[in-house]
Structure 1
Amino acid sequence: MTTAFVAATSTASATATAAEPLPGITPRAETPVLHDDDAGGNADADDPAIWRNTADPARSLVIATAKEGGLRAYDLDARPVQSVAAPPAQGPDDAPGRFNNVDLVRGLKLSSGAADLAVTSDRGHDKLRFYRIDRDRSGGPLTDVTDPAAPRVFSADQDEVNEQRTAYGLATWQDKASGRSYALVSQRERTGVALLELLPASGGKVTYRKVRTLDLPSSFRLPNGTTWSPCAEPGELPQVEGMVVDPANGTLYAGQEDVGIWRMRADLTGKPELVDKVREYGVPGVYDEETEECEAGADPGYGGKRVTADVEGLTLVHEEDGDGYLLASSQGDNTFAAYDRERSDRNEYEGGFRVTPAGGALDGSEECDGAAALNEPLGSKYPNGLLVVQDGHDAPGDGDRPATNFKFVDLGKVMKTLDD
């Protein structure tokens, strides 16, 4: 419900922006535009991941979701390498495949040998899909290795799948202590997160089993003694989408879109902690069925100061000394917030930035849904690493057609901006 609250909070956001202008960083490249309509194949850019080719870093890949358009692979010039279609609908009245988020697993041991995998949440079928990455394979680097018998994540049957309270956000995690690989998956329109162990199946395929689930709060006690829940359509709860796991300590960061950023153990034991709140936290609202928007009331002043709903793509920047940043997309004001990666200081805010137009046809990023950072050399184009961000409004537009894509940003510029 981001749009519904923009009008109610724009004055406060504009004041904060004026008082603390954030630096702009220009992208170096962008992928071809995707259109989410019948003429463009119902493709909508959402979430990226960066696969590093250890044998030849300059030939690394960005693998990204296009929702009903499936999965895309791009080279470091942002040129398409492969397009993988989402699976078709099970029946004439069922939802088609819809790839929401993507992450990577390195060296998962399969019956056919160890493999790097792209893992994506298929919201349309409430399943995970797995794609083996072979950079030089004829026909493209991605091969579907999903076990046909892989179970649904949240739904008991197809009727529940069709309600689309299905697999949504996604982050992978490899537990150093046990060597096991997992995916953490959130549920659309619900507060739940599930921990799934990734397992080899016969014929080089991959499946999974559910280990446990955790439900984040849907209502919150405010300092004035009242109880607040984010405004939404009837029956919807504040969902999580953006997630990332810090491999150094097994910490999961999860963005509850209209609430804020949570920190918890990736094994979903222990008590979650709210690291930061969105500016709209605590703002009362009433859903108007006619306008399909929330009418916001007076802001009681209990929200945060760094991110504007929705809080979206979360990614980590690792540094050799153990420091680094947690980056979060502040979708409501087109900015990115950076927090210290260390837990000892409660992930202190370290600054922010915007991805701004580079001139000509290369625009910036607006209403960013997903982001991925890799702080490792990627050949001569990105010797200081790469940040990839989704652009929810690619410009120049094409009339009223939705236009989205991904921007490639020199991570070295981001780090210098945050370190200065």
Structure 2
Amino acid sequence: MKRILIPTILSLLLASAGAAEVPASLKGAEELATLPNGAWLALDKRGLRLVGSDGRELAVLPLRGEQLDLRPIDGGALAVVVDSNAERLQPVRVDTRAGTLAALPVLPDTGFGIEAACMYRDGQQLDHVFLVAKDGQAQQWLLTGEPHLVRRLALPTGVEGCRVDDAQATLFVSEEEMGVWAYGAEAEGPSARTPVALRAPWGKLKEAVGALAVLPGGLAAIDAKGALLAWRRDGANWRAVQPRSLGAQGRVAGKLLVQTAGEWKAPALPIVMPRMQTEPVARAGDAADDPAIWVHPGDPSKSRILGTNKKQGLLVYDLQGTQTQLLESGRLNNVDLRQDVRFGAERFDLAMATQRDENAMVLFTIDANGSLAEAARLPTGLGDIYGACVYRTPEGGMDAYVNDKDGRYEHYQITRANGRFGAKLARSFKLASQPEGCVADDRSGLLFLGEERRGVWVTSARADQPATLKMVMPVGPLLHADVEGMGIYHGADQSYLVVSSQGNNSYVVLDAKAPFKVRGAFRIGMDPAKGIDGASETDGLEVTSANLGGAYGRGMLVVQDGFKRMPDGAQNFKAVAWEDIAEALKLE
């Protein structure tokens, strides 16, 4: 199929809107893009040309190029074009005030011929580019600062073109002979696709689609016979509309089509940067799950982060993210710990994790240097053990709460007799549907429970109290299902509950006491300078207010990251300084 070029879309749209013609000096261009002040970028046989609003040529960058795209920056634009001879992406700094084009360092070799390229500006206002091969290989690169390979994708074969709607974080690709697909452009997430418009017999498209252009609220394209097509987002689906109904009016519409910068909106939630990431777990796929934090009693810098690997066992890391220990205890899901737990004259630091093959609790002792040893396996009455948390009672002992996917909770009192640990069932209760995350507040005696599809509940953590459940925060505008990991931050004057809102890759913070005032939510972004990607699809988390030194003087939040990027790899855990969260949400 012959490539369908953007000027065709531009000419059709401008003609349909009764707008002025493209300057005569640009009519031979193969690809065009408009700039904020009325200037133009044009790709033709001479190279990339910068042309003023009066049609006068201002600068030329000689190359044989294709796949022009850009995003506005102060004083001009950052543009990308594929050097067809070298098969490398060439970024270009466009300065409309000085009338210059400056070639920036080319991206490293992708290892494939580039068939399509398009830019994306994310919620942190970092610039990315998607590069797609004819056989469906694809890569997402970060352009801001030093280029980084963010992730690899598998896209359809025969991709003719791509464009990104920044506001909706949506990547559109046109597949030869098939139609148009929409993918998530955010690196922190799965590359699932939905159809926008497909050819018969799968859809109503009559012709193949080539070039694409983003419009506010939708997408436009041109088919093989030159017809202008448009679609509007309708919830999770798309419906065909007339191009004018997307707001395409005159020259403004033309600029949106060829510039494809999208309708930029500031991110709804503040973004905080990770300070550290752990080494990846030793198993691929959905493996890492839940962290816990052990604070060294004498030297906080020697504290440890525990993390479960659902396919292997329990991992231990130092505060720099280096793995110090692996305990191959099997399929461990959730982990929690308490320090200085008293059993008569004996004192222990204890961690407890759920073992899914045995439907058991596994107890670990932690010595003064932060080394763990398995101490006991304690059976439960559950058929599909899942989440867990522990509570240090006012008397100094430890209770454990474990749940089942069917909603059941069992509350055990950990015992110690004749040098052995045991467990005594104290009470049972049930949520209506699947839980996982929970956390007990040792200060207040409250137990918070997450019901994945419904929200956060609270009840008494005490074994001698009834398990009367009260809804604290339902799933809604801020908290998105699944409700996952939970942790409690104990400040000097205020304690906060932190909850993983997995459905929108964010973390909600609310007071840990009635009336449970919501303080806000945030996301964890990527830090290109440190080479640390963001966090998404978080299962478990933990937070401490202990002074761990340095950036963690006010404590640390540790979260499981569902997608390891920059580059792709096995899952790991990310650490965030509480100071950064407090600043972002204006916490006390």
Q: Structure 2-normalised TM-score? A: 0.53
The answer for unaligned runs of 5 or more in structure 1 is 12-16, 87-96, 156-164, 219-237, 279-303
Identity level (%): 31
Question: Deviation at 1:397?
Answer: 4.9
Spell out the pairing of 1:24-43 with structure 2 (5 A cutoff): 24-34=271-281, 36-37=283-284
Aligned to 1:284: none
Structure 1 CA distance, aligned partners of 2:467 and 2:310? 33
Structure 2 CA distance, aligned partners of 1:143 and 1:110? 18
1:409 counterpart = 2:576 = yes
Question: Deviation at 1:62?
Answer: 0.6
* Aligned residue pair count: 330
- 2:478 aligned to which of 297, 300, 306: 306
Spell out the pairing of 1:284-363 with structure 2 (5 A cutoff): 304-321=476-493, 323-343=494-514, 345=515, 347-359=516-528, 361-363=531-533
CA shift in 2, pair 1:270/1:69, >3 Å: closer
Aligned to 2:122: none
Aligned to 1:274: 471
Spell out the pairing of 1:18-417 with structure 2 (5 A cutoff): 21-34=268-281, 36-37=283-284, 44-86=287-329, 97-109=330-342, 113-136=346-369, 141-146=371-376, 150=378, 152-155=379-382, 165-176=383-394, 178-187=395-404, 189-203=405-419, 205-216=420-431, 218=432, 238-267=433-462, 269-278=466-475, 304-321=476-493, 323-343=494-514, 345=515, 347-359=516-528, 361-398=531-568, 403-417=570-584
Structure 2 CA distance, aligned partners of 1:10 and 1:373? 35
SS in 1 for 2:563: coil
* Structure having the higher Rg: 2
Structure 2 CA distance, aligned partners of 1:9 and 1:121? 39
Asked whether the equivalents of residues 110 and 206 of structure 1 are also in contact (C-alpha less than 8 Å), the reply is no
- 1:229-287 deviation digits (Å, cap 9, x = unpaired): xxxxxxxxx21111011112211111111111111111361420111222xxxxxxxxx
The answer for unaligned runs of 5 or more in structure 2 is 1-188, 195-233, 238-263
Structure 1 CA distance, aligned partners of 2:585 and 2:442? 22
Structure 2 CA distance, aligned partners of 1:133 and 1:118? 7
- 1:213-236 deviation digits (Å, cap 9, x = unpaired): 0012x2xxxxxxxxxxxxxxxxxx
Question: Deviation at 1:67?
Answer: 1.2
CA shift in 2, pair 1:66/1:192, >3 Å: same
Asked whether the equivalents of residues 484 and 500 of structure 2 are also in contact (C-alpha less than 8 Å), the reply is yes
Structure ranking higher on relative contact order (CA contacts 8 Å, 6+ apart)? 1
Structure 1 CA distance, aligned partners of 2:412 and 2:374? 19
- 1:339-365 deviation digits (Å, cap 9, x = unpaired): 11221x2x1211110010011530010
Asked whether the equivalents of residues 271 and 584 of structure 2 are also in contact (C-alpha less than 8 Å), the reply is no
SS in 2 for 1:365: coil
Task: Please identify which structure carries the higher strand content.
Answer: 2
Asked whether the equivalents of residues 390 and 398 of structure 2 are also in contact (C-alpha less than 8 Å), the reply is yes
CA shift in 2, pair 1:215/1:46, >3 Å: same
Aligned to 2:223: none
Q: Structure 1-normalised TM-score? A: 0.73
Asked whether the equivalents of residues 262 and 275 of structure 1 are also in contact (C-alpha less than 8 Å), the reply is yes
In angstroms, what is the RMSD of aligned CA positions? 2.6
Question: Deviation at 1:202?
Answer: 3.1
**Letter matched to residue 106 of structure 1:** Q
SS in 2 for 1:145: strand
Structure 2 CA distance, aligned partners of 1:340 and 1:111? 34
Structure 2 CA distance, aligned partners of 1:409 and 1:248? 24
CA shift in 2, pair 1:416/1:256, >3 Å: same
SS in 1 for 2:552: coil
CA shift in 2, pair 1:306/1:84, >3 Å: same
- 1:167-210 deviation digits (Å, cap 9, x = unpaired): 2111111221x4332001111x211111100011433x322111
CA shift in 2, pair 1:197/1:19, >3 Å: same
Asked whether the equivalents of residues 484 and 540 of structure 2 are also in contact (C-alpha less than 8 Å), the reply is yes
Question: Deviation at 1:34?
Answer: 2.3
CA shift in 2, pair 1:359/1:126, >3 Å: same
Structure 2 CA distance, aligned partners of 1:413 and 1:257? 27
SS in 1 for 2:412: strand
Structure 1 CA distance, aligned partners of 2:507 and 2:235? 18
**Letter matched to residue 361 of structure 2:** L
CA shift in 2, pair 1:168/1:371, >3 Å: same
